[in-house]
Structure 1
Amino acid sequence: MDLSLLLSFLAVSVLLTLAPGPDILFVIAQSISHGRKAGISTALGLATGVIAHTTAAALGITAILYNSALAFHVVKYAGALYLLYLAYQAIKEGGSPLSTAVPQKQSALRLYRTGIFMNVLNPKVSLFFLAFLPQFITPGTGDEAFQMMILGIVFMVQTIILFSTVAVFAGMFGQKLLSKSSVGKYVNYGKAVLYAAIGIRIALSDS
Structure 2
Amino acid sequence: MSLEPWAAFVAASAILLVIPGPTILTVISYSISHGRRANVPLVAAVALGDSTALLLSLLGLGALLAASAFWFSVIKYAGGLYLLYLGVKLLRAGVAPAEVAAAPNMDTRWRLFFNTYLVTALNPKGIVFFVAFLPQFVAPHANVTQQLWVLGATFVVMAVLNATLYAVFADSARRLLATRRAQRGFHLTGGVLLSTAGIWALLAKKPV
Report what 2:5 is aligned to.
5
* Residues 1:12 and 1:37: Cα distance change in structure 2 (over 3 Å): farther
Report what 2:120 is aligned to.
119
Map 1:189-204; keep pairs closer than 5 Å. none
Report what 1:137 is aligned to.
138
Distance in 1 separating the partners of 2:25 and 2:13: 17
- List, as ranges, runs of 4+ consecutive aligned residues in structure 1 with deviation greater than 3 Å: 171-174
CA contact (8 A) 1:53 1:126 kept: yes
CA contact (8 A) 1:44 1:115 kept: no
Report what 2:23 is aligned to.
23
Map 1:70-89; keep pairs closer than 5 Å. none
Deviation at 1:130, TM superposition (A): 0.5
TM-superposition CA deviations, 1:173-199 (whole Å, max 9, x none)? 67xx9xxxxxxxxxxxxxxxxxxxxxx
Distance in 1 separating the partners of 2:154 and 2:38: 23
The answer to whether the aligner puts 1:148 opposite 2:145 as a matched pair is no
CA contact (8 A) 1:13 1:155 kept: yes
Distance in 1 separating the partners of 2:32 and 2:103: 16
Report what 2:71 is aligned to.
none
* Residues 1:164 and 1:89: Cα distance change in structure 2 (over 3 Å): closer
CA contact (8 A) 2:22 2:119 kept: no
TM-score normalised per structure 1: 0.58
Report what 1:106 is aligned to.
108
User: What is the SS of the residue equivalent to 1:35?
Assistant: helix
- 5+ residue gaps, structure 1, are 67-86, 94-103, 178-207
User: What is the SS of the residue equivalent to 1:20?
Assistant: coil
Map 1:168-187; keep pairs closer than 5 Å. 168-172=168-172
Aligned-partner residue type, residue 144 of structure 1: V
Map 1:57-68; keep pairs closer than 5 Å. 57-60=57-60
User: What is the SS of the residue equivalent to 2:139?
Assistant: coil
CA contact (8 A) 1:42 1:111 kept: yes
TM-score normalised per structure 2: 0.58
Distance in 1 separating the partners of 2:120 and 2:32: 20
* Residues 1:59 and 1:42: Cα distance change in structure 2 (over 3 Å): same
Report what 1:47 is aligned to.
47
Aligned-partner residue type, residue 133 of structure 1: L
Distance in 1 separating the partners of 2:48 and 2:151: 14
Count of matched residue positions in the alignment of Structure 1 and Structure 2: 139
CA RMSD of aligned residues (A): 2.9
